[in-house]
Amino acid sequence: MKLLIVFTLCLVAVNAVPFMDRLREPFEGKTWVVLAASANSWSNYGMQADVYHAYQVIRTHGIPDENIIVMHYDDLADNPENPTPGIVVNKINGTDVYKTPYQVPKHYTKADVTPE
């Protein structure tokens, strides 16, 4: 118990030091993001839906589209089993993550997504 208290106090002290931000070098460059859905077909809906959601989150946080590469099979929105054609959600009663607020780009789709 004493060790836990000491550890907690050390953690609080280190995080309270205001000059730590000055020790970090400023980042001078671009942030790049690669999103890849590891599966296809309706039975693996969640794999692609999560990539689409990640794309929306990344764009919302200011990463420009030209710095994001998306690889997905792209067979969900227009799948015959989709009860809401053109819409992909990543949770029950969720909002469309395929087109809203940003349209998910089609950089690499279907046969273009390979290990090579």
Does 17 map to a domain? no
Q: How far apart are CA 65 and CA 59, in angstroms?
A: 7
Does 87 map to a domain? yes
Does 51 map to a domain? yes
- Ramachandran sector of residue 108 (left: φ over 0; alpha: ψ -120 to 50; beta: rest): beta
User: Residue 70: which domain range?
Assistant: 25-112
The pLDDT value recorded for residue 75 is 93
Does 75 map to a domain? yes
Q: How far apart are CA 33 and CA 64, in angstroms?
A: 10
Does 1 map to a domain? no
The pLDDT value recorded for residue 85 is 95
Local confidence pLDDT in tens for the 116 residues of the chain: 666 666 666 556 556 656 556 666 676 788 999 999 988 999 999 999 999 999 999 999 999 999 999 999 999 999 999 999 999 999 999 999 999 899 999 889 988 887 77
The pLDDT value recorded for residue 18 is 61
Does 4 map to a domain? no
Q: Which two tokens stand for residue 18?
A: 């205001």
Does 12 map to a domain? no
Does 15 map to a domain? no
The pLDDT value recorded for residue 6 is 61
Q: Are 107 and 70 in contact (CB under 8 A)?
A: yes
Count the domains in the chain: 1
